[in-house]
Amino acid sequence: MTDPHHPEPDPLAHPEVRQASLGGYVLGYALTVALLGVGLFGTRSHSLPPEPLLVALSILAVFLLLAQAMTFFGLNFSRYHVWKTVSLVLTVPLFILSIGLTVWMFHALDTVTMMPEMPGMSIQPTTLQ
């Protein structure tokens, strides 16, 4: 039951909703699918050695993030969106560092926690081998 003195606001009248457009969502979806397809093709075809492929996929991920932010969320440097854009730009390096540190820790986990093989000792095969 609505109060006649305080009518329910129309959600479609909200400025951020009014700024959204079907064309922006379709363009964002198409760019996302295209960039993800390029990444999938590059990974499946092994078109580059591992290190350059990782760099290329990282650059592709940045473009993918920008395409999604600009088309889905309408982020830009206008007066109304500058702080949302700045917060995204400042969050991305933290995200990259957290993922990078996690990958590095798991990569180094084997050398830190496993004992080196001693001369004359052999590792018994497990039932899975």
Smallest Cα–Cα separation from 61: which of 88, 38, 78, 84?
A: 38
Q: Which amino acid is at 107?
A: H
**How far is the C-alpha of 41 from the C-alpha of 46, rounded, in Å?**
8
Each residue's pLDDT tens digit, 18-39 = 666 777 778 878 888 998 899 8
Find the DSSP H helices in the chain.
15-19, 22-45, 50-71, 82-113
Residue-wise pLDDT for 43-98, tens only, equals: 899 888 888 988 898 899 888 887 877 777 777 667 777 787 788 778 878 888 88
Angle subtended at Cα 119 by Cα 113 and Cα 120, rounded to the nearest 5 degrees: 120
> Residue 108 gets which letter from DSSP?
H
Q: Please report, as a single letter, which amino acid is at residue 12.
A: L
Q: Check residue 126 and report its DSSP letter.
A: -
CA–CA distance, 64 with 68 (Å, rounded to integer): 6
